Structure 1
């Protein structure tokens, strides 16, 4: 189970993450770790994507989320904010971070 504090620990040294999305590389900015809860609430992530935590965005179209029960990372569009529109980008946040090296 991924909780907000686990997410903060894993991301503490990350400023951005590059993911393969729509057949090209996309750069996602990691949200300020002290704002994760506030920004998840502001975007109504728990209402739209129950069981997910958002932690970054590409600047407007897509957000990075982690499924709390599995740890899998998805890119989900802001509109519509619906997991059925999401794309799995990694089986875990650790795996995604390791790909950056």
Structure 2
């Protein structure tokens, strides 16, 4: 019984160290064109949180329309969004992304 209790406490302590997903308001755009990220070639979706930009895993830059559209494209404008996920190894791993501005 002591072993099970000790194992349970250890597992609980280990799992508390993992960052949980959070939902937050962010700026969404092209990492290269608008956020000056240069660790990838070509245009890629990115978010800016507290003045720090992260490439996004889980969504593609063209998932929300043409990235080069003059009025709504992520390579042309910075848009507002609500994103759920967490930062993992310097990238934002997203499970949901909703744009909040009108197109």
TM-score by shorter chain over 0.5 = no
Larger strand share, 1 or 2: 2
TM-score, normalization by structure 2: 0.33
TM-score, normalization by structure 1: 0.33
Of structures 1 and 2, the one scoring higher in RCO (CA 8 A, sep 6+) is 2
